[in-house]
């Protein structure tokens, strides 16, 4: 759990572990924390950034850096990430998750646990992956998802990523629970989509939680409410 004795110094720099809630963007979290910290400490300007985006429909660990420690964002961003999640077989969506409605359905009656597990092994190692068109990657100055939502043609280049583990630990078709450890830049939505395609089937991500970034784990992270409470306690003790 977070160190309750630690005294924050946001201008000199803090590295915060935050458990991002569902339906928040990573930038929503950054903006809330920046505004809240500035108000509570009377700071006019404060640098705040995150080390690795989580989709709005994902939860879990965000590393947030403030002040002088924002210089270390690239270092944290380069660390391996660990996720647990769920996918639904037999259905695909344009966004590769539940943000968009299904665009195709497939029969899953022929799929066996053995086939699924053997196929998952093909994705371990260095692989080529195309990011989802519903992503925050910039194309001609606009986010890819902005083009996609307007039904504009979106072409994204493939990239090499490293998948260290891809374990299907509970199979109850059409639903599968899995865990992944991977390099930075990996899209778990694309991994799930490509897994479905490799079986001549479909799959989309139904749930995702980031549990670790390098040695840092979500079990040691603040919820937003816990963080705000910690700050309020510290600012109150200073004024008393």
Burial of 189 from C-beta contacts in 10 A (0-12 / 13-18 / 19+): buried
**Which tokens hold the place of 13?**
């720099």
The Cα 154–Cα 240 span in angstroms is: 57
SS3 26: helix
Q: E-strand spans in the chain?
A: 15-20, 48-50, 58-66, 81-89, 91-92, 104-105, 125-129, 138-139, 142-143, 159-172, 175-182, 203-213, 216-217
Neighbours of 201 (CB within 10 A): 22
Q: How far apart are CA 190 and CA 157, in angstroms?
A: 13
Closest CA to 73 of 91, 49, 95: 49
55 catalytic per annotation: yes
Catalytically annotated residue among 19, 28, 55, 97: 55
Q: Which helix (H) or strand (E) holds 239?
A: helix 224-239
Active site residues: 55
């Amino acid at each position: 759990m977070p160190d309750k004795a630690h005294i924050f110094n946001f201008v000199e720099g803090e590295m915060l572990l935050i458990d991002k809630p569902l339906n928040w963007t990573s930038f929503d979290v950054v903006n809330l924390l920046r505004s809240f910290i500035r108000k509570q400490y009377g700071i006019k300007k404060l640098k705040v950034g995150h080390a690795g985006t989580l989709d709005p429909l994902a939860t879990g660990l965000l590393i947030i850096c403030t002040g002088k420690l924002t210089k270390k964002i690239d270092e944290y961003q380069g660390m391996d990430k660990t996720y647990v999640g769920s996918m639904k077989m037999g259905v695909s969506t344009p966004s590769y998750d539940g943000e968009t409605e299904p665009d195709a359905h497939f029969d899953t009656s022929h799929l066996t646990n053995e086939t699924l597990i053997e196929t998952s092994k093909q994705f371990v190692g260095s692989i080529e992956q195309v990011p989802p068109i519903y992503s925050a990657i910039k194309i001609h100055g606009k986010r890819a998802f902005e083009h996609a939502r307007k039904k504009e043609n979106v072409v994204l280049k493939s990239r090499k990523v490293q998948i260290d583990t891809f374990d299907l630990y509970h199979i109850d078709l059409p639903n599968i629970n899995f865990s992944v450890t991977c390099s930075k830049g990996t899209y778990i939505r694309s991994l799930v989509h490509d897994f479905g395609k490799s079986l001549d089937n479909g799959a989309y991500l139904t749930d995702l939680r980031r549990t670790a970034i390098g040695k840092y784990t979500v079990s040691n992270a603040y919820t937003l409410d816990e963080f705000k409470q910690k700050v309020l306690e510290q600012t109150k003790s200073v004024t008393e």
